[in-house]
Copies of this chain bind each other. A is one copy, B any other.
């Protein structure tokens, strides 16, 4: 029985990578079966359809991020800045070790308008990510509303940076973005404004 679970996980792992790099439509069940050594028909013992398989792959990523990355934000024993740094490092490590960027981000852009079944999964993943950043920002003294807005911008920046890294085949775009996010909580717009005003008055 442990063999069984291993097999299924192997299929998911192979499918996950193919979906991430080739997209959902372009990846065929034949590709996946070749990647995991199973025959085409055998995949259907584990997954009733290609869609289900993709959902399980996304669920796998979702769970992994929840357990190993987003959970860092909840560690109230660490300072907000320390949590930011640790979450950033974990995020960067995850994506640096894998080509093709973010599975769920990629599938989001490809399927959001055509496969409604994926939408809840996609939203839950990003919702959790945003909430993680917002939690840290709020712990740093930001208002809940601003913390959430900044969290959304943080996730946007990471996803955009993943896109840039892929487009230019240069991981520095991701590193750059993570560095920006990791050092300290962002300064919301008005605070920046005030800071500038202060600077101007000093001169």
User: Copy number of this protein in the oligomer?
Assistant: 4
Cβ–Cβ < 8 Å partners of A195 in chain B: 195, 199
Contact call A155/B166, Cβ cutoff below 8 A: no
What is the size category of the interface that chain A forms with chain B?
Answer: 35 or more
> Closest residue of chain B to A126, judged by CB?
B167
Give the Cβ gap from A139 to chain B, nearest Cβ, in Å: 18
Bound CA span A199–B195, Å: 9
A80: interface (CB < 8 Å): no
Contact call B177/A183, Cβ cutoff below 8 A: no
> Can you list, as one digit per residue, whether each of A68-103 has a CB less than 8 Å from chain B (1) or not (0)?
000000000000000000000000000000011100
Bound CA span A110–B173, Å: 19
A156: interface (CB < 8 Å): yes
> Can you list, as one digit per residue, whether each of A1-26 has a CB less than 8 Å from chain B (1) or not (0)?
00000000000000000000111011
A122: interface (CB < 8 Å): yes
